Structure 1
Amino acid sequence: MPADSSTALSPEKTSTPLTSTARATAPTPGAKVRARWLLALALAVAAFNLRPAVAALGPQLEQVRTSLHMNAGVAGLLTALPSLCFALVGLLAPRLARRLGPAVTVCLGMGAITLGIAARSFAPDSAAFLLLSAFALAGIAVSNVLMPVLVKRYFPDRIGPVTGLYSMSLALGTSVAAGVAVPLTTALGGGWRVGLGVWSAAGALALLLWLVQATMLGRDGAGTPGGHTPRIRITRSPTAWLLGVFFGLQATAAYATMGWLPQIFQDAGISATQSGLLLAVTMAVGAPLSFVIPSLAARLPHQGPVAAVLAACGLASYAGLAFAPAAAPWAWALLLGVANCAFPLVLTMIGLRSRTSEGVAKLSAFVQGVGYLISVPGPVLIGVLYQREHGWSGPLALLAALMAVQLVLGLRAGRPRQIEDEV
């Protein structure tokens, strides 16, 4: 990051002459650079905490169900809860950010994540577990929406690299939580309560960093009663709808991968252990690519070709899984991991499709709200098709069709457009 005066955390500049007192207290360029790096670190640590509440639960869900006497209906609701919370609660994020400022709002989100994860490990019954999980997911939902907003506001000259940084951290948080949840629980010897509650420690670290950011930035970015901001009717933007449906289709593919890929390999005769490793490879390949792809996409005037390449990798993987899953399983896993990097790509496009941080806030909330709602029925429908056909031809054909639509939408959403010009 450059060390000149443009690296100030405040995105606004003023031509008003500084008084002698102001000059004496104004931060030096070096202090501004350090503050900017601290904010980038806070974004990365926050992003790491946006998926362990979900990823660490999956491998231990059966233990939770048995311990809390959770019926199948509640367990099904629990698996659908992340998408529902991300969609519905995320829509409130722009309003909170206007009132409190994005940094303060993310700080509250980190607090909700930390408290929710810690408290649900003491839940006495399934109703309390569900409620506390929803509380943690609400904090995640708000933070999900505001990550691109903070990047746009404080790193307008580094949208690609900083989006890549927090996308990579999010991918790491997902893969680490999924991969070490069971071994960590075994090592700690405390059962699922300790195995789930321990992730609140990472949330507490993020909360401390964001308390510092909330103190430094305060209500910066909050709306003022006397201020005039052009109203953006986001639902009138074709680009917003393109990005929303694109987000929903890539989320559907990602959730289907996490939920069903091991079963696809096992039905092809691959062992459960190797199937788990193949899923880990699919998830792990996203970490480095989540850093590279946003930086590349932000340099291009048109992000459509990147979306097309990622979708082509997904189509190739689905074809391999459908016709020869055991012939080259590592290749199919790698290709699917590349295809799932449409997530950091769409986050980058959100930051590029508006001129202001408020516009990005509305666009981010709309895209993620629409997208996560679209993604809710996907994995369930895949399971229904699999149960009806006792095979994977139908489910993989459906996923391939959705991926083809995602490719077309990505080409259109990647065009250089600003939502302010459309509405």
Structure 2
Amino acid sequence: MSSMQARLLFPVTMLLVGINLRPTIAAIGPLLDGIQHDTGLSDSGASLLTALPVALMGICLLGTGRLQQAIGRQRGVAAGLAFIGLACLARWVWPGVGTLLATAILGGVGIAMVQALMPAIIREQAGSRSAGLMGLYSTVIMGGAMVSAAASPWIGNLGGWPVALGIWALPVVAGLSVWLMLGPVSKTGNASDGLAIHKKARSWLLLAFFGFGTGGYTLMLAWLPPFYTQLGWPSTTAGAMLGVLTFAEVIAGIAVSLWINRFPDRRPALLLAIAALLTGLACLCMAPLALAWPAAILVGLGIGALFPLSLIIAMDHGTNAAEAGAIAGFVQGGGYLLAALLPLIAGLLRQALSDLTPAWLLMAGLCVVLAGMAWRFRPGDRISLSA
């Protein structure tokens, strides 16, 4: 395949890769009641099915530079997809508590490998269009969550929860096959010095911003459906609500990808996203039944814009593809470790109080913190890795 053909096909291939980065996590929530019933998992144990892969994503992403040097971007993405596919397949063939926890780790490592390497590839391929393409990539990731969250309870009703968790190996096979056929799309590149990144105060600000914002995403993936099944909703309706939330995320992500290149100052978009998330959380706290669907839409719009915007502002701070990839890897690495805490805290609160409202209140407080952080991201800010 010529380099021109590869460049033209890259956006399509990127979408086929990105859509596989959330079903291993997003399919769990709507099926959680059945999984707990069959396996005896407690609320705190069940929270690990989301917290573990998110934490592993963070740990692996902190080693982005070493991963890039060891196996290269192209092979790293392929290996990550293979791990995700194996995790899904194992859940289908060997259902059980041990398998669920082991595949949470394996899937988290696979997702981390792909997410660590794709930002640099996108920056290298897209150049000045990288913000828009990064927004589209992030939107497709959320689209994978939407489809799996909405479909998994229906598949579970037909074939059982092991089938509903394992069937997501099929799109992984498709994505991996196309990625391998595409051939080389990226130079190996030189990884930027990770030690230089962690010495910069701005790096930690970006990390915290990404972590708190993504914490809202992982919190909803893990506990929104169980919150509503506890209120009396059937699992299919609760799964549909998560599907509506993720559909709103996709709409917001598409809007970001289409419009963000026109606005060098990202702060108005960031503050609008945070306001939508905060309003949705207020609906969940004050009137969870009466305002359920508006809450899902508002939360989805807020999270859906925050996720790509957080990555875009991180990449904005790099002066070239290697630096942007290294910064994005550091920010995602520590950020996902922070994000993993929220579903775990929510599981502990639910186990102790039989209520998830305190978790929504905690996230609402973090929205106020996020707004203060967002105001500091001025246009033209950079992180100098050479100093």
Q: Which moved more, 1:98-107 or 1:323-332?
A: 323-332
Distance, in Å, in 2 between the alignment partners of 1:272 and 1:74 is: 20
Q: Give yes or no for contact 1:294–1:345 (8 Å, CA) kept in 2.
A: no
Sort the Cα spacing of 1:414 and 1:259 in 2 relative to 1 into closer, same or farther, 3 A. Answer: farther
Distance, in Å, in 2 between the alignment partners of 1:268 and 1:336 is: 19
- Shift of residue 32 of structure 1? 4.5
**1:205 counterpart = 2:168:** no
Q: 2:63: which partner in 1?
A: 92
**1:300 counterpart = 2:266:** no
1:276-295 superposed matches below 5 A:
276-295=239-258
Taking structure 1 as the reference length, what is the TM-score of the superposition? Answer: 0.81
Distance, in Å, in 2 between the alignment partners of 1:344 and 1:271 is: 32
Distance, in Å, in 1 between the alignment partners of 2:45 and 2:223 is: 20
- Shift of residue 168 of structure 1? 1.9
- Shift of residue 327 of structure 1? 4.5
Q: Give yes or no for contact 2:29–2:221 (8 Å, CA) kept in 1.
A: no
CA deviation profile, 1:336-394 (whole Å, cap 9, x unmatched): 11111201111222222201222122212211111111122223334545666666664
- Output the amino acid matched with 2:171: A
- Output the amino acid matched with 1:166: Y
- Shift of residue 125 of structure 1? 4.8
Q: Which moved more, 1:96-105 or 1:381-390?
A: 381-390
- Shift of residue 35 of structure 1? 1.8
Sort the Cα spacing of 1:323 and 1:411 in 2 relative to 1 into closer, same or farther, 3 A. Answer: same
Q: Which moved more, 1:411-420 or 1:272-281?
A: 272-281
Q: 1:258: which partner in 2?
A: 221
Q: Give yes or no for contact 2:28–2:49 (8 Å, CA) kept in 1.
A: no
Q: Which moved more, 1:396-405 or 1:115-124?
A: 115-124
**1:239 counterpart = 2:202:** yes
Task: Please identify which structure carries the higher helix content.
Answer: 2
Q: 2:89: which partner in 1?
A: 118
- Shift of residue 404 of structure 1? 0.5
* 1:49 alignment partner, SS class: coil
- Output the amino acid matched with 2:167: V
1:265-276 superposed matches below 5 A:
275-276=238-239
Q: Give yes or no for contact 1:90–1:145 (8 Å, CA) kept in 2.
A: yes
- 5+ unaligned residues in a row in structure 1: which ranges? 1-26
Q: 2:324: which partner in 1?
A: 360
- Shift of residue 93 of structure 1? 2.9
Q: Which moved more, 1:176-185 or 1:200-209?
A: 176-185
Q: How many pairs align?
A: 386
Q: Which moved more, 1:270-279 or 1:32-41?
A: 270-279
Sort the Cα spacing of 1:240 and 1:310 in 2 relative to 1 into closer, same or farther, 3 A. Answer: same
Match of 1:404 among 356, 361, 368: 368
Distance, in Å, in 1 between the alignment partners of 2:373 and 2:386 is: 17
Distance, in Å, in 2 between the alignment partners of 1:173 and 1:339 is: 18
Sort the Cα spacing of 1:55 and 1:319 in 2 relative to 1 into closer, same or farther, 3 A. Answer: closer
Sort the Cα spacing of 1:271 and 1:147 in 2 relative to 1 into closer, same or farther, 3 A. Answer: same
- Shift of residue 237 of structure 1? 2.1
Distance, in Å, in 2 between the alignment partners of 1:359 and 1:239 is: 14
- Shift of residue 58 of structure 1? 3.1
Q: 1:82: which partner in 2?
A: 53
Q: Give yes or no for contact 1:349–1:414 (8 Å, CA) kept in 2.
A: no
- 5+ unaligned residues in a row in structure 2: which ranges? none
Q: 2:211: which partner in 1?
A: 248
Distance, in Å, in 2 between the alignment partners of 1:325 and 1:186 is: 26
* 1:418 alignment partner, SS class: coil
Taking structure 2 as the reference length, what is the TM-score of the superposition? Answer: 0.88
Compare CA radii of gyration and give the structure with the larger one: 1
- Shift of residue 405 of structure 1? 0.4
- Shift of residue 63 of structure 1? 4.6
Q: Which moved more, 1:56-65 or 1:135-144?
A: 56-65
- Shift of residue 332 of structure 1? 2.4
Sort the Cα spacing of 1:382 and 1:415 in 2 relative to 1 into closer, same or farther, 3 A. Answer: farther
Match of 1:379 among 340, 343, 346: 343
Distance, in Å, in 2 between the alignment partners of 1:182 and 1:81 is: 22
Q: Give yes or no for contact 1:242–1:412 (8 Å, CA) kept in 2.
A: no
Sort the Cα spacing of 1:114 and 1:325 in 2 relative to 1 into closer, same or farther, 3 A. Answer: closer
CA-atom RMSD in angstroms? 3.0
Distance, in Å, in 2 between the alignment partners of 1:47 and 1:115 is: 17
**1:193 counterpart = 2:162:** yes
Q: 1:10: which partner in 2?
A: none
Kindly indicate whether structure 1 or structure 2 has the higher relative contact order, using CA contacts under 8 Å at least 6 residues apart: 2
- Shift of residue 151 of structure 1? 1.0
Match of 1:221 among 169, 188, 211: 188
Distance, in Å, in 1 between the alignment partners of 2:350 and 2:43 is: 19
- Shift of residue 314 of structure 1? 1.8
Q: 1:12: which partner in 2?
A: none
Sort the Cα spacing of 1:258 and 1:94 in 2 relative to 1 into closer, same or farther, 3 A. Answer: same
Q: Give yes or no for contact 1:160–1:298 (8 Å, CA) kept in 2.
A: yes
* 2:257 alignment partner, SS class: helix
Sort the Cα spacing of 1:395 and 1:76 in 2 relative to 1 into closer, same or farther, 3 A. Answer: closer
Distance, in Å, in 2 between the alignment partners of 1:134 and 1:351 is: 27
Q: 1:18: which partner in 2?
A: none
- Shift of residue 185 of structure 1? 3.9
Q: 1:340: which partner in 2?
A: 303
